[in-house]
Amino acid sequence: MTKIYVIGVGPGSPDYITPIARKVVQNAHLIIGSKRALSLFLEDIKGDILSLTSESIGEAIDYAVESAKIGKIVAILSTGDPGFAGLLRPVLNKTTDSVDVEVIPGISSIQICAARLNMCWDETDLFSFHEGVSYEKKMKLVKAVKEKRDIILLPDPKSFPPKEIARFLINNGISEETTAIVCENLTLPNEKIIIGNLKKILNLDFGPLCVMVVKGFHRIRKFLSCWNDEYVGL
Ligand SMILES: C[S@@+](CC[C@H](N)C(=O)[O-])C[C@H]1O[C@@H](n2cnc3c(N)ncnc32)[C@H](O)[C@@H]1O
């Protein structure tokens, strides 16, 4: 059967790439990924490379299927974990049951965020605005905050960045004092964690790589003592 590997490559640092991800890449004839993802495997790649941009995903998946059909081992690299706002969805949408899709899980930016903040995330509401910012989804977020849920979310860097999320929540009746945290460039040398509230986040700009937490932060004191370098006060 035609087979494609979709491999999670972690949030950025090579320290968060799993040994099995490296093994599969080493054996692959064709490796598809963003420049950033490919650069994490320079020592492992022996096959051909196809560099991916957000515009070329569909075309690249078609090429992956064609290559797998003629017997090539194909690896598609996906930031973090492929199953959370990653490349698994477009791969599944573009393939049928005749293609065996095997996921090699990766460490998600969501997991790193929770780990940095000492958060248990088994009762957390997760949102991703990365691949769609509908009014319904935004209002689901408002509802979750009103219900005092702990929330971890991926903003959309262009149309729904942290400051717009803060603005939307405040405009929809959420207190501007609500705790909000933004974790930027996780695992990378310029990692930064900003702890504040919605009012504070309203005035800050962040780069495209960030995860946001709203409300319910149980171990804030321990966290602050570890990270006070990057601390922006409440
Ligand atoms: C296309 S989504 C992929 C998410 C990925 N599948 C995951 O599990 O982390 C890209 C978004 O993930 C988040 N992200 C990825 N790497 C990150 C990092 N190193 N630090 C903070 N956020 C990151 C950002 O919100 C970014 O816009």
Burial letters 133-151, b for 16+ CB under 10 A, else e: beeeebeebeebbeeeebb
Average pLDDT, the chain: 91
Ligand 1 within 6 A of 113 CB?
A: no
Question: Ligand 1 pocket check: which of 192, 209, 213 to mutate, most ligand atoms within 8 Å of Cβ?
Answer: 209
Q: How far is the CA of 3 from the centre of ligand 1 (A)?
A: 26
Question: Ligand 1 pocket check: which of 17, 36, 109 to mutate, most ligand atoms within 8 Å of Cβ?
Answer: 109
CA nearest ligand 1 atom 21, residue: 210
Q: Is pLDDT above 90 for 114?
A: yes
Give percent above pLDDT 90 in the chain: 84
Burial letters 58-80, b for 16+ CB under 10 A, else e: eebbeebbebbeeebbbbbbbbb
pLDDT for 121-132, tens place per residue?
999 999 999 877
List all residues 6 or more positions away from 80 whose beta carbon is below 8 Å from its beta carbon.
8, 9, 10, 11, 86, 106, 107, 108, 109, 110
CA nearest ligand 1 atom 27, residue: 209
pLDDT of residue 220: 53
pLDDT of residue 164: 97
Ligand 1 within 6 A of 67 CB?
A: no
CA–CA gap between residue 45 and residue 39 (Å, rounded): 10
pLDDT for 8-55, tens place per residue?
999 999 999 999 999 999 999 999 999 999 999 999 999 999 999 988
Least confident piece of the model among 145-149, 163-167, 178-182, 224-228: 224-228
Ligand 1 within 6 A of 162 CB?
A: no
pLDDT of residue 216: 62
Mean pLDDT of 155-169: 96
pLDDT of residue 231: 46
pLDDT of residue 233: 38
pTM for this prediction: 0.92
pLDDT for 121-160, tens place per residue?
999 999 999 877 999 999 999 999 999 999 999 999 999 9
pLDDT of residue 234: 34
Helix intervals (H) in 73-188: 88-94, 109-116, 135-146, 162-171
Q: How far is CA 198 from the centre of its chain?
A: 22
pLDDT of residue 97: 86
Ligand 1 within 6 A of 207 CB?
A: no
Ligand 1 within 6 A of 21 CB?
A: no
Ligand 1 within 6 A of 90 CB?
A: no
pLDDT of residue 9: 98
Q: Which atom of ligand 1 is nearest to the CA of 157?
A: 27
Q: How far is the CA of 109 from the centre of ligand 1 (A)?
A: 5
Domains of the chain: 2-107 (3.40.1010.10), 110-230 (3.30.950.10)
pLDDT for 189-234, tens place per residue?
999 999 999 999 999 999 999 999 998 665 554 454 444 444 443 3
Question: Ligand 1 pocket check: which of 13, 39, 79, 193 to mutate, most ligand atoms within 8 Å of Cβ?
Answer: 79
